[in-house]
A and B are shown apart, each in its own frame.
Chain A
């Protein structure tokens, strides 16, 4: 109940953030812009619209998670609203979870709005919408859950600017780490390969949540991949949240 109260208050706070609507506007422009790109393309226009549209959803969703998530805890400390909250009978982890769930609710609604715009564009052109389209969006949301947790972790001990930089770095590294995996697979056996493999396992692989190729080219999503990606997202998010709670648990609010 206490977590829910904090989550609803965070939601009320987040939907008042103007940056959210700015990003929603640019996301909508990008989704609609995919129609222009499709006109300039030879071949299947539906593929371009789907590809650019899903990429916009992922990118702007991540930007929303980072921009709002990084200020989430910091603002409470900076404006000292946290003082009265933590003097009430709530545990620090309940506060963090409430903030996290409140932002997730905001992101869910924003993602749903972007999806509706995207769907209208697709249906206006009479392109078919398959089930895999919604699975791809579900995994974009899973990625946002992880990015929000990361943004909140940084927000627990750093300023919003630094937290934004760290979180953006996490997002970029996460989408490029597959290159490291390819390198590891091509390396000869030895110490360097072990070290490279360790690094690949530690740094995030956000490409696990990317199902754009399957949607665009109408490829099936194997159940094994679906389960693996879901568990990867779940465990990584829980791990980051636990880390945030450990950092927050013993922090002095000066």
Chain B
């Protein structure tokens, strides 16, 4: 797969305070994003995710390091023709209607003017805003703003889309809609760079992730390589069995009513538990094997740092 974004040894620091004191934000970031993947850029608040994005988009200039988009400098106009960007908590010109807004952004790109109208209609339909085409942005809800922001990021039919916390502040339905759009972008062959701290979303849709902590990439690679598929614990919810019968088969937690949640750490003990339930004519309500999650990996990486 071709590399569409390459970041090498990126450093950035800012001077803050009345007596300027240098604060390192990025400390040697290196990563690669391959064509056609959804790349999750994960990190706690203040880790440097947005700063990395700003460097890539040319909004701030790195102290050191190299950034290439499609093999060209990130500051070149040819590279910018191929990218789209949705910032975190977007604010747009609220006196424009959705159509006027997209038309304005379309004029800033090399998009063919004769296709402008069709492109705007398609995008509004894609993000579910065709009913608000002539509504001023000041009357938009937070979720609608996020959707129109996504539409402006796609106005030039980019091959690489940068999304900074696109699911932040959305209700579950809104999050699902945006997630669906992101997956559709991948199906259309676009590459998505998704910066977020919402682990659940990243885990659901990303092919590869990089975990950023205090300006360092502490872990990166395909999700299935990073997260161990070995079962760490099996959670069994049972009823009709006395606590004393379970012995040392696992850790017991009381659940609703006479239900007991049993955490079994050794795989070989699961059969013994099930055997016991059969003998005592008890009941199994659920049996869930828990593998390592992205959250475990993330929390581990942050703690280690």
Contact = CB atoms under 8 A, between A and B. Distances in A.
B253 interface: no
A253 B83 CA distance: 19
Contact of B59 (A4, A13, A87, A89): A87
A87 B92 contact: no
Nearest to B110: A89
A87 B95 contact: no
A5 B108 contact: yes
Interface residues of B, number: 33
Contact of B108 (A2, A252, A253, A254): A2
A96 to B, nearest CB: 14
A85 B108 contact: yes
Nearest to B105: A88
Interface residues of A, number: 26
Interface string B140-162: 00000000010011001000001
B64 to A, nearest CB: 14
Contact of A87 (B14, B60, B85, B93): B85
A79 B138 CA distance: 14
A84 B77 contact: no
A12 interface: yes
Contacts of A253: 54, 59-60
B91 A89 contact: no
Interface string A233-254: 0000000000000000010111
Interface string A15-57: 0100000000000000000000000000000000000000000
A83 B83 CA distance: 13
A85 B153 CA distance: 10
A90 B76 CA distance: 10
A254 B57 contact: no
Contact of A91 (B77, B83, B153): B77
9 contacts: A12-B95, A80-B89, A84-B152, A84-B153, A86-B58, A87-B84, A89-B109, A250-B61, A253-B59
Given A4-B107, A80-B89, A84-B87, 4 more contacts: A9-B104, A13-B93, A83-B59, A89-B110
Interface of A: 1-2, 4-6, 9, 12-13, 16, 79-91, 250, 252-254
